[in-house]
Structure 1
Amino acid sequence: MAQLILDELRRNFGTVKALDGVSFSVEDGEFFCLLGASSAGKTTTLRAIAGLEKLAGGSVTFNGQDMTHSPVQGRGMSMIFQTFALYPHMSIYANLAYPLIRDRVSRSDIRRRVNEVAELLRVTHTLKRKPSTLSGGEQQRVAIGRAIVRRPQLLLLDEPLTNLDAKLRNDMRAEFKRLHRELGMTMLYASPDQLEALTMGARIAMIDNGKIVETGTPQGMYGAPSHTFVASMLGSPVINLVKGRVNQSGSHHTLELPFGTLDLSGVSLRTELSSGDSLTLGIRPQDLHVDAAVEGSGSADLSISGRIHLTEPLGDVTILDIDVRGSLLKMVLPEEQAATYSLGQDIGLSFSLTDAHLFDADSGARMN
């Protein structure tokens, strides 16, 4: 049985529907990510689980018990916020000990558990110092320690890496994965960063405007996104999306794009197509190839020609923006290959239909 079950959560702020039927489940011991843009409903969802929001409808079930209207204390959960929220006038030891003091744990147990957590998080050397003397990464570790020192069954993390620089974010992603492995604790992690979700989550729930768009594994959602919103949220650089119109001759269908015609013969579609239907073609920058050679993925199904509009060198790879008859397509090349091209130069591109994603242009739903 799932440890945490959210069923049709609803929360309104005046006329704004912050949560509009949010439903998903988190398994015991799972690292689960809630991914969405700013104001999508991530924080409100976590606050509702913790009992900090009064719901207009729906239920929160935790370990088989209905927690929807239970008080915050006693839920067996801890929450880490965007800000570290450390007490500036207290030492690190006192910050870590505070939740245990509030729970009236004995002094000997407090000392033992604080030292255990400090060692686990590698902040033992900071115990006598004040938060203002710590680096951002150390403050984040202390905030984590204060949350886990009470040994919660569920840890809620609300964009905990937002205020850290890029290097510290990379370090802390590895730290969270290590903690999850060593503690075996159930973690629900909210983030606007697709990289965090893809690298840390065993499963991801994508939220938009207070609704869950899709739930699945990182590999499944990246490889076969159910919606254009999901496709554009996962992957870097962002997926190329180009609208086209269907032409039908008997049982044969083609997709007329601004830069060419794509034969849809042999493509397994979820619904019947008719002439005039609008589809959106999705092709990831990594699946665009130079010229007609599609290495290791079969022959090219569409070859096109464009002009290099912009280059973004990233060290080992370079992102190229290609102007193809008014449509800008992104592609990724190894740096040594990209170095042979220059701005304004013509370049031939191709891709295989097996790498293409087809969506309904109106609803955004996946078609193939």
Structure 2
Amino acid sequence: MVRTGSAGTAAGPTLAVVAREAGVSVPTASKVVNGREDVAPETRRRVTEALDRLGYIRRPRFDGGRAPRLVDLVMHSLETSGSGAVLHGAEEAAHRAGLEIVVSAAPARSRSERPERGWLDRLVLRGSPGVLFHLAEVSEPQCAWLKQHRIPFVMIDPVLEPPAGVVSVGAANWRGGVTATEHLLSLGHERIAVVAGPRDTLCGDARIAGYRSALAAAGVRHRAEYVRHTGSGETAARRMRELLDLPEPPTAVFVCSDRMALGVYEALAERGLRVPDDLSVVGFDDLPEARWLAPPLTTVRQPRAEMAATALHLLLRMMDGHRPESTRTELSTRLVERASTAPPGSRPGGRG
């Protein structure tokens, strides 16, 4: 059951105070707090408003003396192969810990300034003892909402920088950018372009920084015109066409996601150019799609399943009252060499 404090104490108002404020009985107020369905909509509205007005903290129904049976995993999508790897990693880690995962997709407006009362309230009313988020971001108002209700949470591979103090797990994106670029340099390429995602993203900025660092370490001049930003495979194809139209086009390209590499392959095929004979391509992620391309894509593996498992372990410690030493944990990336890279060919960056 939900624990309540005494009126006027640091623990906040009691349920009796809330019930009196809303003009209902304590059992009725308890039904609303615990998510019961047998409450009239108007009564539920009055109680909910009283809870918010008085600052009542609806704590998870969690017995700290024993491990919870369920934890939540909230994802931006349940359909992509990358999300599948995250789900697999979280489920395996949960199984080993004797837990089960409740999986849900956040609504499209989850990035609004005000927390989405629907899915956030469901976490609270279900008594969720902890949450894993695989979302682009969790906003500051949403973080405040979760902290108010004392629900610990960890972010898996956030796209945007999380608010201060939020615990997250991601990949070593800077090192991955270095590795991809060093691989192309080792093959003899110097005219190396990069096709990245949107500007000002946590992973994209780090991968470009790694690319630039590897060029600088090799004494290769960085060319601003070789850096292109995009947000999808379709626009990645457009950016690749722009690179091919330069007076001195690249001989190799580092594409900051495997999904965008599909668009790069498309643009090269349109020009009658062959991978890697005419242009070498390195991706990032190591999604299943990377192996299906022709030729199969050399890429930097991002350990999505391992990130999810690590996030779950951190969450369990937080649920036990422990705070991680660092708010950011990064797991190693590694290059997976396939058939999309080779030394500069006889028609480097040529046009069909």
| Same fold by TM-score greater than 0.5 | no
TM-score (norm 1): 0.27
Which structure: greater helix fraction? 2
In terms of fraction of residues, the more strand-rich structure is 1
